[in-house]
């Protein structure tokens, strides 16, 4: 069976599911960045009151979107795997009562027209648009086209929530859905956070301001960085719109914790602090992570910045821009990891007056940080996955090995892949050293 035929079959079955079970709500999450944090926060709030379905992994194809919505996991192997998957979907469609009340689903477009393709089959009850940034899609398309792509899903929904902070106001011209609300940390957003206090240990204390409660709902958000407050506010907004009680919204927001590799604060050796933001890196998220580091009071700040992969023709300027955002008055060291970061980010940071250490790989960076990070000092680790893997640098600086379980990409397969890379890197380094001496 061809992939396009399978897509259409799954699409029609999913449409039939919602027709048969109109009480089931669909919350769609799309955007250039921040989708995983947003969908997990939303599911956390809604789960306090409803049976919620969520798959944390990113759907890579349209078929995977429908399978995730239908709660079906594709069999890994076998000549009849698609037959078995379709049979499981049909069973869910024809069940007398659905197993879930709310489905939270990610839509992750890789090309233009992706979100619009679903219009024929799905009508989300709420769409959350997390950001429009210079991520992977802008490598191939202008920012205006990316914005239109993301907002298309909002226009094809019953109601939508737009991130007021990470989506430029000029893109409001693309909105045709009158049922739009905004969220963010800026007070102009209808749903926003008014911060009263912050500490590394306790996070952000303040109130969520909303149309439903303009006096504010008191919450403690134990997440680091202003950009990580926005998924929590989006979750509260979805909760309000779907009738979750304020008590449950507060309990859920208070329970939110950083996802592995996404601004997760860990204790480092010698009484230091480590900010693990090693899951991935884009120009927007790298800048946000740096700005978050700058706001923290500490006797020492170190930024470990790796390659930002997947940027193709814009990688040189993107890395240069992050280097120029490095402030010598707020950073004791800038440590770069990987060829692109060493060639473009490091020189830009030096021109700004920063003290820079260039590292071939994460293991060299980890050894350097272990030697230089002081008591109560803070080191931020921000980089992409392939060939960077800064979680392995963090592993070398942790106070306790038990915290390794909080790091990303620690499965046997991942560790084998990374060890092979580091061994090859060491052989190349040794060969270059010998040739220089010769």
208-245 per-position pLDDT tens digit: 999 999 999 999 999 988 888 999 999 999 999 999 99
On whether the CB atoms of residues 144 and 111 are closer than 8 A, the answer is no
The pLDDT assigned to 359 comes to 96
How far apart, in whole angstroms, are the C-alpha atoms of residue 213 and residue 252? Answer: 17
Residue 142 structure tokens:
């202008």
Question: Rounded mean pLDDT of the chain?
Answer: 92
User: Which of these ranges, 52-56, 179-183, 199-203, has the smallest mean pLDDT?
Assistant: 199-203
Angle between helices 283-295 and 315-324 (to 10 degrees): 10
In a 3-state reduction of DSSP, which class is residue 204? Answer: strand
Residue 49 forms beta bridges with which residues?
A: none
The pLDDT assigned to 136 comes to 57
Distance (Å) of CA 401 to CA 58, 192, 266, 375, 419: 29, 38, 11, 18, 18
Percent of the chain with pLDDT over 70: 95
Mean pLDDT confidence for 192-202:
89
Mean pLDDT confidence for 248-259:
96
pLDDT of 438 above 70: no
Residue 47 structure tokens:
């789960």
**What is the C-alpha end-to-end distance of the chain, expressed in Å?**
60
Distance (Å) of CA 232 to CA 130, 192, 203, 294: 11, 10, 13, 22
For strands 356-359 and 191-199, give the pairing: unpaired
State the pLDDT confidence band at 75, using cuts at 50, 70 and 90: confident
The closest alpha carbon to 56, from 40, 69, 33, belongs to: 40
For strands 301-306 and 159-163, give the pairing: unpaired
pLDDT of 9 above 90: yes
Range 3-255: architecture per CATH:
3-Layer(aba) Sandwich (3.40)
Residue 29 forms beta bridges with which residues?
A: 106, 128
How far apart, in whole angstroms, are the C-alpha atoms of residue 212 and residue 191? Answer: 9
Residue 1 structure tokens:
């069976």
The radius of gyration computed from the CA coordinates of the chain, to the nearest angstrom, equals: 23
The closest alpha carbon to 153, from 103, 109, 102, 104, belongs to: 109
In a 3-state reduction of DSSP, which class is residue 217? Answer: strand
pLDDT of 79 above 80: no
Distance (Å) of CA 39 to CA 12, 43, 263: 25, 6, 16
Residue 105 forms beta bridges with which residues?
A: 28
pLDDT of 371 above 80: yes
CA 382 to chain CA centroid, Å, is: 13
On whether the CB atoms of residues 130 and 99 are closer than 8 A, the answer is no
The length of the chain in residues reads 438
Q: Which CATH class is domain 264-437?
A: alpha beta
The pLDDT assigned to 140 comes to 67
* Locus of tokens 């709310």: 102
Contacts of 275 (CB under 8 A, 6+ apart): 224, 263, 264, 265, 266, 289, 292, 293, 378, 379, 380, 381
How far apart, in whole angstroms, are the C-alpha atoms of residue 28 and residue 154? Answer: 9
The pLDDT assigned to 138 comes to 52
Domain chopping of the chain, boundaries: 3-255, 264-437
Q: What's the pTM value of the predicted model, to 2 decimals?
A: 0.88
The pLDDT assigned to 35 comes to 93
Mean pLDDT confidence for 195-204:
87
For residue 399, give the DSSP letter: S
Q: What is the DSSP track for 11-78?
A: HHHHHHHHHH-TT-EEEEEE-SS-HHHHHHHHHHHHTTTS-EEE--SPP-SHHHHHHHHTT-PPPSS-
How far apart, in whole angstroms, are the C-alpha atoms of residue 339 and residue 344? Answer: 9
The closest alpha carbon to 263, from 159, 381, 360, 362, belongs to: 381
Backbone angles phi, psi at 328, to 5 degrees: -65, -20
């Amino acid at each position: 069976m061809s992939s396009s035929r399978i897509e259409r079959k799954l699409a029609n079955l999913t449409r039939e599911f919602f027709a048969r079970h109109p009480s089931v709500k669909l919350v769609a999450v799309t955007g250039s960045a921040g989708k995983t944090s947003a969908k997990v926060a939303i599911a956390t709030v809604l789960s306090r009151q409803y049976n919620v379905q969520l798959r944390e992994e990113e759907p890579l194809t349209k078929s995977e979107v429908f399978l995730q919505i239908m709660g079906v996991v594709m069999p890994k192997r076998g000549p009849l795997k698609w037959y078995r998957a379709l049979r499981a979907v049909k069973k869910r469609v024809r069940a007398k009562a659905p197993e879930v009340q709310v489905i939270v689903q990610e839509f992750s477009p890789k090309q233009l027209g992706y979100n619009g393709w679903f219009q024929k089959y799905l009508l989300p009850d709420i769409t959350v648009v997390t950001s429009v940034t210079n991520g992977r899609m802008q490598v191939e398309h202008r920012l205006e086209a990316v914005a239109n792509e993301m907002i298309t899903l909002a226009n094809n929904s019953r109601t939508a929530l737009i991130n007021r902070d990470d989506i430029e106001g000029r893109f409001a011209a693309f909105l045709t859905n009158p049922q739009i609300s905004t969220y963010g940390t800026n007070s102009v957003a209808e749903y926003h956070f008014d911060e009263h206090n912050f500490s590394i240990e306790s996070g952000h204390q303040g109130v969520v301001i909303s149309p439903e409660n303009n006096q504010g709902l008191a919450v403690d958000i134990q997440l680091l960085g202003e950009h990580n407050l926005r998924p929590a506010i989006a979750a509260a907004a979805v909760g309000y719109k779907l009738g979750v009680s304020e008590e449950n919204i507060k309990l859920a927001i208070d329970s939110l914790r950083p996802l592995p590799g996404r601004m997760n604060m860990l204790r480092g050796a010698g009484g230091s602090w480590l900010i693990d933001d090693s899951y991935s890196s884009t120009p927007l998220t790298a800048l946000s992570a740096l700005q978050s580091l700058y706001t923290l009071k500490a006797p020492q700040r170190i930024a470990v910045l790796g390659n930002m992969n997947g940027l193709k023709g814009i990688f040189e300027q993107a890395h240069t821009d992050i280097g120029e955002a490095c402030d010598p008055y707020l950073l004791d060291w800038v440590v770069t990891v990987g060829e692109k970061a060493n060639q473009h980010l490091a020189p830009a940071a030096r021109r700004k007056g920063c003290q820079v250490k260039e590292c071939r790989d994460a293991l060299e960076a980890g050894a350097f940080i272990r030697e230089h990070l002081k008591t109560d000092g803070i080191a931020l680790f921000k980089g992409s996955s392939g060939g960077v893997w800064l979680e392995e640098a963090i592993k070398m600086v942790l106070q306790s090995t038990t915290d390794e379980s909080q790091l990303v990409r620690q499965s046997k397969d991942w560790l084998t892949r990374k060890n092979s890379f580091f061994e090859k890197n060491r052989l190349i380094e040794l060969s270059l050293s010998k040739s220089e001496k010769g």
